[in-house]
Amino acid sequence: MTNPTDALRRAVLVMDRLRSPGGCPWDAAQTHLSLARYLLEETYETLEAIETADYPLLREELGDLLLQVLFHARLASELPAGDAFSIDDVAIDLVDKLVRRHPHVFTESAAAATADEVNENWERLKSQEKGRTSVTDGVPLAQPALALAGKLVSRVERAGLDVPAPADSEIGSRLFAVVRDAVAAGVDPEAELRRATQTYRASILDAEQSAWTEDVAT
């Protein structure tokens, strides 16, 4: 069996070769900004593989996501001194973060018997590390609106705040109310709508097939 460390190091070396002089012209022309859309596309493709339980595809898509990490880290290594960092720096920071935020595993200073307790500890430690002063800190505004609403509602409920739902538009208010109901029921509104949409898509395909069969028969 291939040593995972060797395989990952080889992936780094291949990325370096593609980006270096004499490598690939397309790779050499890319920037963090030009690659952003590919990162988003690969994320959605990975999500689709998860939702369809297509594990060979999931393996492939995880590789494509890894490529994005390697590519951005390679670009970052070319930044001016003071801003530059490498894939090793990324890995070191990740390891430090995982150990720091799992004191119940790596130290005896904390205990967490359930997933909820682990999540509470994680969020508390994250807030302390980042010096956050608002429950909205760290919530990416560029995410889909449904997911954004769900995240904000979850943060508000966890903080015990009483924040009224927006009432600036009838449809928007109704949609927001559904998000609050979903969060209260422990349901991810974005994932739930995706599941319903996939079911609807399957119904569309069935309807199209039925219409095609009827046309052929007549």
Cα angle, residue 37 at apex, residues 31 and 39 outer, rounded to 5°: 85
> pTM (2 decimals)?
0.76
Lowest mean pLDDT among 74-78, 106-110, 168-172, 202-206: 106-110
Q: Which of 164, 165, 185, 160 is nearest to 175 (CA)?
A: 165
d(CA 14, CA 58): 22
Could you report the per-residue pLDDT of 35-65, keeping only the tens digit for each?
999 999 999 999 999 989 999 999 999 999 9
Helix locations, 52-86, DSSP H: 55-76
Average confidence score pLDDT of the chain: 89
Note the CATH number of domain 1-85.
1.10.287.1080
183 or 5: whose pLDDT is higher?
183
pLDDT of residue 158: 83
Neighbour tally for 150: CB within 10 Å: 23
- Closest to 102 (Cα-Cα) out of 76, 81, 126: 126
Torsion sign over Cα 186, 149, 46, 85: negative
CA distance 126 to 169: 35
Residues of the chain with CATH 1.10.287.1080: 1-85
Q: Tell me: the pLDDT tens digits for 62-102?
A: 999 999 999 999 999 999 999 999 999 999 999 998 998 88
Q: How far apart are CA 13 and CA 2, in angstroms?
A: 16
